Amino acid sequence: MNLLLAKLTRKQLKKDRFVEEVGEAVGLFTTHRNSIIAAVVGAVLLVGGGIGFYRYRVEQNEQARLAFQKAMDNYYGEVSLNKVPGRITFATSIEKEMKTEESLKAVAEQYSGRFEGKMARLHLALYQLRDGDPEEGRKMLEALIDDSGAEVSGMARKALADHLQMEGKSEEALKHYQYLADHPTEMLPRERVELFGLYDALLATDEQKALELVKAVEERGGAGREVAMRLRMSLEARLGAATPPTPPQS
């Protein structure tokens, strides 16, 4: 009997403790009910807000991409009375210029802080250099060089260097090309700057250094080796000196 009572007592005690623990939990929830609900709601809103922001960013990315693509279609469009497959056509040069400038300015203003907006400003500068006010185009490129993005800054510097080179200002161009060769980017790798910029500037200022440059590129090997070899052979023929092809570094 005492054993049975002891078992019942222990069983009863367990039940009582379970009820007590449940009661404590209910009491805890009741006491902190508002803060718990606020935390849950906050978490839901945070997740929902994150999803909403992500969707907004995706939509903005797509809108910026499409707007810039449309501007580029105008930029590379053709003046023709006939349809050109895969190209936008304009009846007159004036129409093309108006549409191109209008679409580039719209992207540059609406997406000013984005890559697309900066690229639109870069093309507006190129447009000014080619068909508008060269001095204004140069100022626009100089402003873009100070841009925080390495790619846009690099392309603006390359465009400015090319413009200076075309104007016969090789000494000024040389400084920009050398900077780009020392600070390559994904869009402007070292060999591209060396062979399609720095070489021309050196050729106009110091032919021997131009020869040393293409020899160095040829020796390094890689994608630019064939171009470097052809440039070396052409320059050596001009200078009346020839050297055997330089084997690439192993």
Residue 7: alpha-carbon gap to chain centroid:
76
Contact indicator for 209, 202 with CB cutoff of 8 Å: yes
pLDDT given at position 222: 85
pTM comes to 0.70
Q: How many Cβ atoms sit within 10 Å of the Cβ of residue 72?
A: 19
pLDDT given at position 5: 41
pLDDT given at position 153: 94
In a domain, 83, yes or no: yes
In a domain, 128, yes or no: yes
Beta bridge partners of 90: 79
Beta-carbon contacts of 63 under 8 Å, excluding residues fewer than 6 positions away, are none
pLDDT given at position 145: 93
In a domain, 89, yes or no: yes
When divided into structural domains, the chain yields a total of: 1
In a domain, 97, yes or no: yes
115 φ/ψ angles, rounded to the nearest 5 degrees:
-55, -40
- How far apart, in whole angstroms, are the C-alpha atoms of residue 3 and residue 40? 49
- How far apart, in whole angstroms, are the C-alpha atoms of residue 225 and residue 229? 6
Maximum CA pair distance of the chain?
122
In a domain, 103, yes or no: yes
- How far apart, in whole angstroms, are the C-alpha atoms of residue 77 and residue 69? 12
pLDDT given at position 239: 86
Q: Which domain holds residue 127?
A: 66-147
Beta bridge partners of 79: 90
List, for the chain, all residue ranges whose pLDDT scores fall below the cut of 50: 1-30, 32, 36, 53
pLDDT given at position 84: 80
- How far apart, in whole angstroms, are the C-alpha atoms of residue 234 and residue 150? 34
